[in-house]
Structure 1
Amino acid sequence: MDGALQKTISFLLFIFIGFLLKKKISTGDETRGIKSLILTLALPATIFIALLKVKIDGNLILFPFLALGFNIVLFAITPLLLTLIGININSKKGRSARILIPSLAPGLSCFPFILEFLGDASLAKAAMGDLGNKFFVLFLLYLVALKWHYKNADFEANSLKTKLISLAKTLLYEPVNLFIIVALVLVSFGITLDKLPNYLSITLTRLSYIMTPLVLIFIGLAVKIKKRQFFELSSLLLLRAGFTLLFIVGIVFFADITIKKDILVMIAFTLSACSFWPFAHISAVNLKEKTENTAEKTFDANFALSILALSLPISVILILGILTAGNTFTEMKNLLLLGGILFSIGLVYPIFLKLNTRIKSSTDNEHESSKNNSLEFSSDK
């Protein structure tokens, strides 16, 4: 059996184990504890090791800016995707989707698979890219959420300044970012993994070993398939994935990227699930509106949660499938075909809705016409 296929089956088994553990592990504090363990210990240690193994050059500095550029493009295109599936972009649901869809959560949805399939060098590039994504998610989307909340009203400058300082500290003190900064400083002085004290390198290496199993089990625990909004959100997320792949085709073509691993890193990173941070912004705004007894709410927290719940399994399935296929999707015609297929599947739901609406409208008109004819016939008699 092919090695990549064996890895994929192994990964799916871990996810299945997590799914089976739902009855034993609650979806509240215990699941959040596993997520916290991943993000504060296993993932930072893995990225730290990956960066110390790789020769850092000027090209790595480009990755945060490339990721930030992708976030901005996806933010700009999201209103069009929402319009396609019939969601009003200025509604509570629309605003919730507009700050969730452009966000990325690579730590839980693509880093483990990039490490397993593409290696440390590729993970280092993805980790650097996540710095740009974090800036977009933590700062720019927070400003957008505030702008929509306050609309035309004047807001408290001091309060905003305080919150932005708090966000800056969050960005700086987040374990993943701290480990990236420390690793970059060490590498800039020529300190690599083999030059660290043996006990420290062994500890970090063993911490990194638990990341992939933990992430996969967490995915199995976190997956919640709800009937309500399932087709609507599946359509939206498939349109997002389809557009992402078509965007990557354009980048690879115009930038003339030929390194296959770099293309796969770009694909996996940009297909990451939606981030939790925009939901945190939504929750903060909702709490403020509740305190102030605001009649018109800015966001729909339940809709945002549904997006988070469904985006993780969809992203993982797509990323695993693409990486398992080896270099198949480094060929632009294959990537273009897959992007077109995903986009087309995403359009099935809105097309069905429109057809159903037209049929219902036609049926209602026929019924009304029949009723009027019956009344006219009775009047004639």
Structure 2
Amino acid sequence: MFESVGLQKALSFMFMAVVGRLVKKRFTAEHVAGIQRLILDVMLPCMIFKSLCSIQVSAGLLKWPALGVAFAAWQLGTAFVFCRLSLARGTARRTAILQLATAAPGLSAMVFVKEFVGEEAAGMAALFDLPTKVYLIFGLPRLLALAGDGENGEVSQAKKKKQSALLDPLNVAIAAGLAMAATRTKFAALSFVGRGVTALADAQTPVLFVLIGMKLKVSGATPAVCLALLAVRQAANYAFFLLASAIAGGDLALLLACQAAVSVIGWSQMHKIKEAGVKGYDTAFAFDVVGFSMPLAMGLQTMACLQDPKAAVATMAPYGAPALLGLGATALVALQPSLRESRAWAEHPRAD
């Protein structure tokens, strides 16, 4: 069992987070902020550039991006509903809705799809992930700006920064990646530049998990709130899988994609919009959601992949949906006194 590539990957992620926790006291707040900036401005743009370069869509595979569009809309709608029912209006609710309505199949599902389903299925899962990437890169920043709690002066000040936004590493990476895809230029043609980009993109995962170990808040009600919200989110995603299976057919690849963790890109976009002057988001809370989502997703992926594929498809969603919904809803009801007092858990006395 421990020889499984997927399980080894999950355990290695956990180890990286433990290392981050162990060395946490050796890093000042400024050091941690520097690591965070390295991810946001160097590693993440390289990862997005590389993934955009590989975009290819054929008519015969349009079912997968269509399911991806439906999944992105489903996540946003369900996150809006259960966060409104459980969280008080304000920064925490706004942050939770827009962070929970993201997904990262590339980081938390693709290795399992490739190992346990196959290379062809990995390509289909990448097409399923494509609409989510489009939403994260183009749709989410607009939603964050519209839903933000900034005053008109602050928002207009953010709009004045368009010129500097053109030079933002993430935006440069998006434009360059789309240009590569549009001209059908192969990533391999970049030679040593491509190898450098690949090295930086690959470095994101270990550095991110070390940072998660350093920053993750494990005291107070925050862990329980995050895990309860993530449990309800996953129950809703299982419901999507069951609906999609009934309409278009479902398999292990789709199940694994629906079990993906929330996306670090969502936190990144929230961080950037906050820096641009838009108030109303708690980026520390958003990062905690990302941090707790990763081990939960890895556990579910491992459970699914250690079963026979047909058995996993037949059991994970039908049994997982009510179980996670029950656990998450019960926890949220029990946590209501804390949830209604945001200062008890959502306001972090630390740097974003």
Q: How many residues align?
A: 321
SS in 2 for 1:331: helix
Q: Cα distance 1:8–1:102, how it changes in 2: closer, same or farther (>3 A)?
A: closer
Aligned with 1:134 (options 137, 149, 168): 137
CA contact (8 A) 2:69 2:131 kept: no
Amino acid at match of 1:311: V
Q: Cα distance 1:74–1:340, how it changes in 2: closer, same or farther (>3 A)?
A: same
CA offsets 1:13-49 (integer angstroms, 9 cap, x no match): 11111111101123x2322322332233333334444
Q: Cα distance 1:221–1:50, how it changes in 2: closer, same or farther (>3 A)?
A: same
Report the equivalent of 1:20.
Answer: 22
TM-aligned CA deviation for residue 11 of structure 1: 1.9
TM-aligned CA deviation for residue 105 of structure 1: 6.8
Q: CA–CA distance in 1 between the matches of 2:65 and 2:158?
A: 23
TM-aligned CA deviation for residue 143 of structure 1: 1.1
SS in 1 for 2:267: coil
1:248 equivalent to 2:250? Answer no
TM-aligned CA deviation for residue 98 of structure 1: 5.8
Larger deviation, residues 60-69 vs 321-330: 60-69
SS in 2 for 1:210: helix
Aligned with 2:90 (options 89, 92, 102): 92
1:51-90 → structure 2 map (5 Å cutoff): 51-52=52-53, 55-57=56-58, 70=71, 72-78=73-79, 80-82=81-83, 84-85=85-86, 87-88=87-88
CA contact (8 A) 1:84 1:347 kept: no
Aligned with 1:213 (options 198, 206, 226): 206
Q: CA–CA distance in 2 between the matches of 1:165 and 1:59?
A: 44
CA contact (8 A) 1:233 1:310 kept: yes
Report the equivalent of 2:260.
Answer: 268
CA offsets 1:225-258 (integer angstroms, 9 cap, x no match): 1214543443233222322332233234323355
Overall identity of the aligned pairs, in %: 20
CA contact (8 A) 1:223 1:309 kept: yes
Report the equivalent of 1:358.
Answer: none
| Structure 1 unmatched runs, 5+ | 287-298, 355-381
1:1-381 → structure 2 map (5 Å cutoff): 1-26=3-28, 28-52=29-53, 55-57=56-58, 70=71, 72-78=73-79, 80-82=81-83, 84-85=85-86, 87-88=87-88, 91-92=89-90, 95-97=93-95, 99-104=97-102, 106=104, 111-114=106-109, 116-118=111-113, 121=123, 122=125, 126=129, 129-146=132-149, 163-164=158-159, 166=161, 170=165, 173-196=167-190, 198-258=191-251, 260-268=252-260, 271-272=262-263, 275-278=267-270, 284=277, 286=279, 299=280, 304=282, 307-324=285-302, 325-326=304-305, 327=309, 331=313, 333-352=315-334
TM-aligned CA deviation for residue 279 of structure 1: 6.2
CA contact (8 A) 2:6 2:112 kept: yes
TM-aligned CA deviation for residue 127 of structure 1: 5.7
Q: CA–CA distance in 2 between the matches of 1:168 and 1:33?
A: 24
Amino acid at match of 1:307: F
Amino acid at match of 1:18: G
Q: Cα distance 1:71–1:98, how it changes in 2: closer, same or farther (>3 A)?
A: farther
CA contact (8 A) 1:60 1:128 kept: no
Q: CA–CA distance in 1 between the matches of 2:140 and 2:197?
A: 28
Report the equivalent of 1:361.
Answer: none
Q: CA–CA distance in 1 between the matches of 2:6 and 2:140?
A: 32
| Structure 2 unmatched runs, 5+ | 115-121, 337-352
Q: What is the RMSD of the two structures over their aligned residues, measured on CA atoms?
A: 4.0
TM-aligned CA deviation for residue 212 of structure 1: 2.3
Amino acid at match of 1:264: L
Q: Cα distance 1:348–1:167, how it changes in 2: closer, same or farther (>3 A)?
A: farther
SS in 1 for 2:217: coil
In the superposition, the TM-score normalised over structure 1's length comes to: 0.67
Structure number with bigger Rg: 1
Report the equivalent of 2:346.
Answer: none
Q: Cα distance 1:312–1:328, how it changes in 2: closer, same or farther (>3 A)?
A: farther
